[in-house]
A and B are shown apart, each in its own frame.
Chain A
């Protein structure tokens, strides 16, 4: 996209503040092989519920009403295909039909479009269906031009977790292995839903802090059942856990690999030496201890 993308859309995200290097390193500011004029050769569209600092960088800013992204994306899919939409119902989303038609025309006319969607889309009412709408729109635009969609990830290396789960189990998250083979069902096997229903009787937390972000019933279940945390520092989750194993900080005192948002693996070289074992080390030792115990029991 650095070399080719001439239409960049950010939807429900604020890259100027949340991903400050995104503009300059990958998208609008770069001069690319087929975009010799850099910023002048690209159009940036920002869709959000409020005018964030990212709006200053945008050529077109579209302000939707909160929770109306699914409606806008669905209407956009219809407009792209030349189908009829109800102008009054479109106006209810905060955008006019003219704005939607203009955006649809830009999308169809570009040579290579990219739709980045942030947590303003994936974490509001409709959740996975909002993401599905963004992905379907991008997929359908390939009938006219080259178009891709990519999520703007929040925390460090969440992409890495998805990638590893995908190549080991074929599914990125929400996987259950209790029957000996992977089963995928978000809503049934995804972490928050399991914890809220209280379906698990123990939790191992690896490089995450659910105690800071998850809803109250989930946190209550974490504190009432055995929870084991592997983390370099004290977190909300480690405070309510039964066991907290301090591990080395990856990239500081431990080597490792992080995955960039576009799934490029980047190796990390630790500059310091620390006293703590790595996450991998701890997990391996736990597994070996469990195998020994199973062996003795047998």
Chain B
């Protein structure tokens, strides 16, 4: 497994979409060092910023303060990236397979428009997790994003499929314009959850302040949640199986979305 250690944080953002197992798998360490990265407008190499050690392989380990390092694991289809520390924007954008683990925080656009694979962030994440890029019709279309900390605005914006689960607090516009897929909010969210959603499911274990365009329909215990509960339990996310109130919306949009808000049994 090649181990990349950032010598010192770059002064301006470093765009390092070449650091993915798809690119590095067949390369020698010297070839990895020679891979191009963009420091601002300058085209430099991985070796200019990172010390590269270990054996060539299907997974990559990264160390150091990567807060300004963007696009790590872009479009990867296999293997794994282990990040020890904080990481910058667009982590695992267009991810199609494989697995990314982060011990610290991650920036905005984690898993933007991903279609498969799994991203697990132990710390906080920024906004637009699993979202659609500007001008794009739909966000993530598959895969799983797990966040142990808090998440920023527009979580899962325009997502079409897949699962995002957040343990901490989530800010405004979670599930904005959602077209499908599932959001699990273990500590609820701030305002405007599910705004303009067309389809899809948002599960919240804390009460939510809803938009006027959502209507309570019933209390029920959806069977499909068992599947999600089993999938999430492996990663330490515990979902109760019963006691949800279902809200339908957003009636200003297509209106086939559902919000399942857990109500503590009396």
Contact = CB atoms under 8 A, between A and B. Distances in A.
Contacts of A75: 211-213, 252
B38 to A, nearest CB: 6
A124 to B, nearest CB: 12
Given A71-B211, A74-B252, A78-B213, A179 B128 contact: no
A290 B133 CA distance: 34
Interface stretch (A86-94, A147-155, A160-168, A234-242): A86-94
A95 B213 CA distance: 15
A293 to B, nearest CB: 16
B215 A86 contact: yes
A86 B192 contact: no
Contacts of A70: 192, 195
Contact of B210 (A81, A87, A89, A185): A89
A85 B211 CA distance: 9
A74 B38 CA distance: 41
Interface string A79-113: 00101111101101100000000000000000000
A201 interface: yes
Contacts of B38: 178-179
A184 interface: yes
Interface string A18-55: 00000000000000000000000000000000000000
Interface string B107-128: 0110000000000000000011
B173 interface: yes
B132 to A, nearest CB: 12
B251 A78 contact: yes
Contacts of A186: 134
A86 B134 contact: no
Contacts of A185: 133-134
A74 B108 contact: no
Contacts of A71: 192, 211-212
Max chain B C-beta neighbours (<10 A), residue from A70, A89, A129: A129
B223 interface: no
Contacts of B211: 71, 74-75, 89
B176 interface: yes
B89 A84 contact: no
Interface string B79-113: 00000000001000000000000000000110000
B197 to A, nearest CB: 11
Interface residues of A, number: 31
Contacts of B210: 86, 89
A200 B213 contact: no
Contact of B108 (A83, A87, A187): A187
Interface residues of B, number: 33
A184 B134 CA distance: 8
A24 to B, nearest CB: 35
A78 B134 contact: no
Contact of A83 (B13, B134, B252): B252
B8 to A, nearest CB: 14
B262 interface: no
A77 interface: yes
Nearest to A129: B173
Max chain B C-beta neighbours (<10 A), residue from A86, A90, A200: A86
A187 B212 contact: no
Contact of A74 (B11, B12, B172, B196): B196
B258 interface: no
A158 to B, nearest CB: 20
A199 interface: yes
B173 A85 contact: no
Contacts of A280: none
Nearest to A83: B251
A81 B176 CA distance: 20
Given A71-B211, A74-B196, A184-B135, 5 more contacts: A70-B195, A81-B252, A83-B252, A86-B215, A188-B108
29 contacts: A70-B195, A71-B211, A74-B195, A74-B212, A74-B213, A75-B213, A78-B213, A83-B213, A83-B252, A84-B215, A85-B212, A86-B210, A86-B213, A86-B214, A86-B215, A92-B212, A125-B191, A126-B173, A126-B191, A129-B173, A129-B176, A177-B41, A178-B38, A178-B40, A180-B41, A184-B135, A185-B133, A188-B89, A188-B109
User: Considering the complex of A and B, which 3 residue pairs feature the smallest CB-CB distances, nearest first?
Assistant: A89-B212, A83-B251, A77-B252
